[in-house]
Amino acid sequence: MTAPIALTCGEPAGIGPEIAVRAWEKMRDGPAFFWIGDPRHLPDGTVFDEIADPAGAAAVMPHALPVLRHDFAGQATPGRPDPANAQGVIDVIARAVDLVQAGAASAVCTAPINKKALKDGAGFPYPGHTEYLAALGGGADVVMMLACPQLRVVPATIHIPLREVPQALTPDGLEKTIRITHTALRRDFAIAEPRIAVAGLNPHAGEGGAMGTEETDWIAPLLDRLRAGGFDITGPLPADTMFHAAARARYDVAVAMYHDQALIPIKTLDFAGGVNVTLGLPFVRTSPDHGTAFDIAGQGVADPSSLVAALRMAADMARARAA
């Protein structure tokens, strides 16, 4: 029997608790998951059952949200993060990783956190979830992928100013991103021969050097070398023609050069259902592709679609990895 997915509570003052409940309402028939957090932070009237260990989640799922209790220092007020709860948020993430590494959970799905609240309340030293999870996973090199049914996309650089992208992009860094992505598609998505499309950095992929030379100087030679080594890889391609339906049918993942080049197309295609996946970890990790949404927390209007998609994708990836 497949182990259930560990769903972390995330920031309790955000929409994490309410979308967990709404996700359970849509997923009573599975795949099984359990929520790790303080039951006091769940919306009033939530139907839940506390479980002693993850093995009890599947039996509870049809009639209640399975909860693995993790007591926090304080209550939760929607929209107002409490510094007293910061350490609890951090500890829940570590607990979920411990459970998946012990085999008690099949994957980790993380609800959104607020980095400032964690830094202010507990001195959290990491830029975000991904870096903390990489540390918990033994310092693995990781890559961020955004995925929906129509598209998978990986940005080679992430949260840096646009003016810094050309300096941040290096042959070694791009090659590492491509190799991690290739390995993950085979291991976690059961794609035996991944087709990878790589965007250029400049408009029209540099147009032969007329609009920039990174493509001719080193991106194209790098891709030629990977192609000679057996990779099914195309590019560098003009990014403005990579994401229409006919183009997407020709690859399994697109590697983009910077944040917005990757995220604009996927958020346009599936704003509510995109999933954030961390590739390269020794365990499966997914997350909804949105933040804590303090402005609507506690109002009962938060859309659980991305969390449902993240839980389902985590289950699919765990099955592929176990096969």
- Percentage of residues in the chain with pLDDT exceeding 70? 100
Average pLDDT over residues 20-42: 97
- Domain residue limits, the chain: 1-139+303-323, 150-269
Longest Cα–Cα distance in the chain: 64
Tokens of 108: 């980790």
Is the predicted pLDDT of residue 1 greater than 80, yes or no?
A: no
Provide, rounded to the nearest whole percent, the portion of the chain with pLDDT above 90.
95
Query: Is residue 129 part of an annotated ligand binding site?
Result: yes
Question: Do the Cβ atoms of 177 and 311 come closer than 8 Å?
Answer: no
CATH for the stretch 1-139+303-323: 3.40.718.10
CATH for the stretch 150-269: 3.40.718.10
| Residues 251 and 284 sit within 8 Å (Cβ to Cβ) | no
- Give Cβ neighbours of residue 195 (< 8 Å, ≥ 6 apart): 232, 233, 234, 250, 251, 252, 253
Neighbouring-strand partners of residue 66? 49
Q: Is 115 annotated as a binding residue?
A: no
259 known ligand binder: yes
Q: What is the mean pLDDT of residues 288-300?
A: 94
Chain-centre distance for alpha carbon 42? 23
pLDDT in the model for residue 233: 98
For residues 261 and 246, give the distance between their C-alpha atoms in angstroms, rounded to a whole number: 18
- Do the domains 150-269 and 1-139+303-323 match in fold? yes
* Mean pLDDT taken over the chain: 96
Q: What is the pLDDT of residue 264?
A: 96
* Helix, strand, coil percentages, rounded to 5, for the chain: 45, 20, 40
- Rounded average pLDDT over 266-288: 95
Tell me whether residue 204 is annotated as binding. yes
Q: CA 194, CA 198: separation in Å to the nearest integer?
A: 13
267 is in an annotated binding site: yes
> Does residue 282 have a pLDDT over 80?
yes
pLDDT in tens, 58-114: 999 999 999 999 999 999 999 999 999 999 999 999 999 999 999 999 999 999 999
81 φ/ψ angles, rounded to the nearest 5 degrees: -60, 140
- Structure tokens, 254: 């697109």
**Residues 270-277, mean pLDDT to the nearest whole number:** 94
* Predicted pLDDT at 182: 98
Of the pLDDT bands very low, low, confident and very high (cuts 50, 70, 90), residue 127 is: confident
Asked if 106 and 315 touch (Cβ cutoff 8 Å), the reply is: yes
pLDDT level of residue 115 (50, 70, 90 thresholds): very high
Q: Binding site annotation covers 130? A: yes
Q: Are 154 and 254 a contacting pair, CB within 8 Å?
A: yes
Q: What are the beta bridge partners of residue 50?
A: 67
Specify the range with the lowest mean pLDDT, choosing from 15-19, 21-25, 38-42, 289-293: 289-293
